[in-house]
A and B are shown apart, each in its own frame.
Chain A
Amino acid sequence: MISHIDVSSVLKRSVCDLYSNLVTRPTGAAVRIGIEHHLDEIGDKSLAVLDFSHVGLLDFSCADEIVAKLLQQYVSDDIPRREVYFVFYGMNESHIDAIEAVLERHGLALVTQLADGAPALMGIIEDDQREAWEKICELGSARPADLADAIGVPHEKAARTLDTLWRRRLVIRQESGYVPVRGVIS
């Protein structure tokens, strides 16, 4: 199930309908809780498009509360809260500044959808994971054997890399193989 979440609307609902800027930790925490409530209402396996198009400013503290703390709950290596994938959409340069800083601080990565509709990775990601992710985007879908053939690595290594990307919620695991996380907004 794909769910579109307008972050600006969550801000207005959760904090104050006069605000258009995501600033301060308490505001970030309130917005994150609003997003979590929304995610609780959708299925156990879902893709959430977090839309920042109507957000004015996003400061570092708020980015830490919303982006980092949200991702940490769903990309945990042990017991993630649920199988939720995120696409971050509509981010401007200053949003990206703040989000990159918090991703670096926590060693996290996410998928963002660029203006041309193409997905891109942001944050901390090793070279072999990035190469695999880009190849899956190119192929559209891949099993470990497909990836191993495409990038010339042993099957076991391809399987491990795909598993890591899935645990980080950067690819979706399906019966037919792994597919890239993408938004549907054009």
Chain B
Amino acid sequence: MTTVIDVPHSLDDRSFEDVFDQLAPLPPDEKILLDARRTRWASPFGLTALLTIAQTRLERPTFAVPENDDTASYWSRASFFKHAEGLYDITGRVPRARQASESSVLLEVTPVVHTQDVHTVVENIQQRAQTILSEKLHLKSTVTMRFTMALSEICQNVIEHAGTGGWVAVQAYKWQQRLGGRNVVVIAVCDAGMGFRKSLESAQGPRPGDRWGDAMALEETVMRGATRFRDPGRGQGLQGVKRFIGNWNGKLSVRSGTARIAIVPTWDEDDVMKEDLAPFPGAQVQITIPEWMPDA
């Protein structure tokens, strides 16, 4: 028997909770079909999380391609199908992948498995980031370096803590309704590894007390810089990312297990902490940097 998972019309970190909700009751060996035929748009989070789902299944899942040509073409240019074909049985017409000339794709969906992948990500993004961040987001050129540092650190977290590979994608786009139609750049890094709680527990075991769980593990790591390593130099990457986010009025959210923590800027109304979400392995990180407006 195959269970059909409906992929939302517009797929971002919020609407992806619908997908996680549908998946949660299913055993990992159950055959699933992710039906994205009616999907019209996906954020980097949507694309990377879709690939991550396939890595959690024991039975190779099926993926139904968006019927809208523009959507499917964009996903091809973002290299989604290139990787999906290795993880899913694909049904529907996959447009031929062309070079990502699409200027809003800062970084195509890219696997992060080994240290050299982080070098590849950094080398690939630098030139395009310089142009897009300065022209669309009006960020100073020096900010581009800090942006790439943040990207590098988030990717390294996958290699060091996930225990499996993950996926990264970066895209710049204009929000139609939020932030008065401002441009934003969005980084998403998703993996289906051990997640924050198990990473901390791998060094110290479960913490005593009723509160210990995914939410507290996220608080400890994201807010207080805890890591499983004894080396006091560890944990600086995520703290550096937080500084960058704070300086540039950005947003950081990290979902792991059944909880999601966010550093929420004034332009957003998200919850700082969400608990009791549908369980999903690993960690799913999103960073949003808005266009710089000195008077905003």
Contacts and interface: CB of A to CB of B under 8 A. Distances in A.
A and B are interacting partners: yes
Given A24-B119, A27-B119, A59-B153, A69 B233 contact: yes
Given A19-B123, A24-B118, A94-B142, A57 B152 contact: yes
A105 interface: yes
Interface string A50-85: 000000111111001100110000000000000000
B119 A19 contact: yes
A105 B159 CA distance: 23
Contacts of B142: 92-94
Given A94-B145, A97-B146, A57 B236 contact: no
Interface string B130-160: 0000000000001001101100110010011
Contact of B237 (A16, A61, A68): A61
B150 to A, nearest CB: 9
B174 to A, nearest CB: 27
Is the contact region of chain B dominated by helix, strand, or loop, or is it mixed?
A: helix
A94 B141 CA distance: 11
Contacts of B160: 25
B145 A61 contact: no
Contacts of B126: 21, 56-57
Contacts of B146: 94, 97
**Contact count band on B:** 20 to 34
B206 interface: no
B209 interface: no
B240 interface: yes
Which of A25, A69, A101 is the most central at the interface, judged by chain B CB atoms within 10 Å of its CB?
Answer: A25
B145 A60 contact: no
A25 B236 contact: no
A165 interface: no
A57 B119 contact: no
Nearest to A63: B236
A61 B236 contact: yes
A19 B120 CA distance: 9
Nearest to B121: A23
A27 B236 contact: no
A93 B145 contact: yes
B243 to A, nearest CB: 8
Given A60-B240, A69-B233, A105-B232, A27 B149 contact: no
A106 B236 CA distance: 11
A24 B239 CA distance: 15
Nearest to B142: A93
Interface in B157-179: 159-160
Given A57-B145, A98-B240, A24 B232 contact: no
Given A24-B159, A59-B240, A106-B233, 19 more contacts: A16-B116, A19-B119, A19-B123, A20-B123, A21-B126, A21-B152, A23-B119, A24-B118, A24-B156, A25-B160, A57-B148, A57-B149, A59-B149, A59-B152, A59-B153, A64-B233, A64-B234, A94-B142, A97-B240
Interface of B: 115-116, 118-119, 122-123, 126, 142, 145-146, 148-149, 152-153, 156, 159-160, 232-234, 236-237, 239-240, 243
9 contacts: A24-B159, A57-B152, A60-B149, A60-B237, A60-B240, A64-B234, A92-B145, A94-B145, A94-B146
